[in-house]
Amino acid sequence: MAPRLVYSGCTIRAMKPDVRYCMTSDDFGMCHAGNAAITRSLTAGVVTSTTLVGPCAWALHAMQRLAAHRRGTGRR
C-alpha cells in the first residue's frame, strides 16, 4: 500500500521516487495576501516556482519577500 500524505484536507497518494513534479504559483505581486500565501508555499516547499506580475502594485513587495527568504528570481 502506498504511503499517504495529507495537505490542506486533501489526501494524496505518495509518488514513486523516480517521479518528479514542478508546482508553480501564478500572479506573484498581484496583491499582499497573494504574496504572503506564495511566500509561505515557497518556503514550505509546496511550490517550486512562481511567476511575477511586474506591472502590479505589489510586485516590488514580492521581490523583497523573495530576497528576504533567499529565493532566487531566475535572473542571471
Q: What is the pTM of this model?
A: 0.66
- Asked if pLDDT for residue 61 goes beyond 90, the answer is yes
Q: Give the pLDDT score at 54.
A: 86
pLDDT tens, position by position, 30-51: 999 999 999 999 888 888 888 8
d(CA 44, CA 38): 10
pLDDT tens, position by position, 66-76: 888 777 655 54
Which residues, other chains included, contact 22 with Cβ-Cβ below 8 Å and sequence gap of 6+? Answer: 48, 49
Q: Give the pLDDT score at 40.
A: 92
- Asked if pLDDT for residue 5 goes beyond 60, the answer is no
